[in-house]
A = this chain, B = another copy of it.
Amino acid sequence: MNADVIAAGITGRSLASIDDFSNVELSCVLSGAADVGAGMERYGDVCRGKIMASLFFEPSTRTRLSFETAMLRLGGQVVSAVDIGATSLAKGETLADMARVVGGYADIIVMRHPWEGAARVVSEHAGVPVINAGDGGHEHPTQTLCDLYTLKKDQGHLEGIRIALWGDLKYGRTVHSLTWALARFGATVVFRPGAGLAAPQYVLSKLATDYGGEVVSGEHLRRDEVEGVLPVDAIYVTPHSPHQLAMLPHMSAQMELDRGVDALYVTRVQKERLRAEGDDGQPLKYPIVNRRLLKTPGFERSVVLHPLPRVDELAREIDSDPRSLYFAQAHQGVPVRMALIALILGRMPAGISCSESPSDDWVPTAHMEYMHDTGVQCPNERCVANQPTERRYLRQRFKLIDSTPPRLRCMYCDHEVEVMAVATSEAYDEPTSRRKYHSPTSRWANAIRRDNLLVFSSIQDAESRGFKPGAKEKVSG
């Protein structure tokens, strides 16, 4: 597709989640960043006359400075609020009202907020594009763009690379979006978490549901021989990979693993955690990435990325190793954000060539919106839709994931609702006595048309709506 057409399609759009952009659009941002990086001064007047509002409802100096630098290097201007916690923007006012007011001042809003899904809500009310600079533990899409850019710049492509995610895969916000983005571009992802720090189940299940690859549990793989190196917990084998054809997922995974990894993506571990003890009273293992590791078979060619700041999980001795990309990765936040802002503001100079790759036109599985009111609530306390100020105007919204059992995924924060019972909405046309609910894994469940599928997150919800247990199957509640 013509690059200028793709760029035009990005103009005026928000980036609340990395999923808001298609592969070809993300590739266009990365190509733009490469062009910016090749001569930043050529972009010095591109956003002249434009103003970015930089709203940080929780502090993140590094991310904020990177965004503000990007806007200033484009010739734009910045109004910045880091003092929001104490002001009326925070006290009792809804995000929607705040968005409408600030959207009347600025041409683009960059926002960091502790509530998950907050950037989505702001993007729906501001009237100007919104870039999510981190919403709680949910997403940080521009960090993911920087990560992808650094990998692509170094490896030449994303498709087919093998990357090990290392360390805290449970709490690291950045690593979740990155996992999905890597899957979209056809990378093979090896999970090597520290003890007790495995990736949450919903991350893995989204990999399988939305990106079509195989997730193979580490139990099926040969034990890692390297002493002190984190064990492989799981491996995601992309459908782009030819090994997939083997139809033997763990053999295919083992083959991928045996080839070593092209990149190590190390995450910061909380200090408390480094000192924590496991069930056996021994300190939990969290091996650091050091010179010795980088000489170990499987890591001999691996470049090292890290979202920074590091604590002790990256030894300083490797800072001078040419494979250590983490400082370059931080610096590339500026050209990546410059390209993104310029594209969104419709100021990207014409003629940037978007390099195309086979994965660019790939799209993840789409899910329909769940349109029934069956009392389902997002289970995530930090979800924007569960905040007292926002509940006054926001309704709960979900996508229906058509798996067995079916699941609902919150449209704000991506958390999933466990479904305890299902029914068909056609039952509402029946006498109350004939309304039945079923186990979500039952054959009854599978037989209901997805449009008509009612799901309940508790038996009580089903029964309060007049449904009785289906005759043939028992449902646990």
Contact = CB atoms under 8 A, between A and B. Distances in A.
A62 B101 contact: yes
Instruction: Specify how many copies of this chain sit in the oligomer.
Output: 3
A-side interface size class: 35 or more
A72 B77 contact: yes
Q: Which of A84, A88, A93 has the most CB of B within 10 A?
A: A88
A476 interface: no
A389 to B, nearest CB: 10
Nearest to A66: B105
Given A59-B83, A330-B104, A316 B393 contact: yes
Contacts of A468: none
Residue from A73, A79, A393 having most chain B Cβ neighbours under 10 A: A79
A61 B88 contact: yes
Contacts of A450: none
A79 B69 contact: yes
A279 B354 CA distance: 71
Interface in A35-86: 41, 44, 49, 51, 53, 56, 59-62, 64-66, 68-69, 72-73, 77-84, 86
Interface stretch (A2-10, A15-23, A154-162, A306-314): A306-314
Contact of A105 (B79, B102, B104, B334): B334
28 contacts: A41-B49, A51-B72, A53-B65, A56-B83, A61-B81, A61-B84, A61-B88, A62-B87, A62-B89, A64-B81, A65-B79, A65-B102, A69-B79, A78-B79, A80-B80, A83-B83, A91-B309, A92-B309, A93-B308, A93-B310, A97-B310, A100-B327, A100-B330, A101-B327, A101-B330, A101-B331, A104-B328, A105-B334
A88 B102 contact: no
Contact of A83 (B44, B69, B82, B105): B82
B59 A86 contact: yes
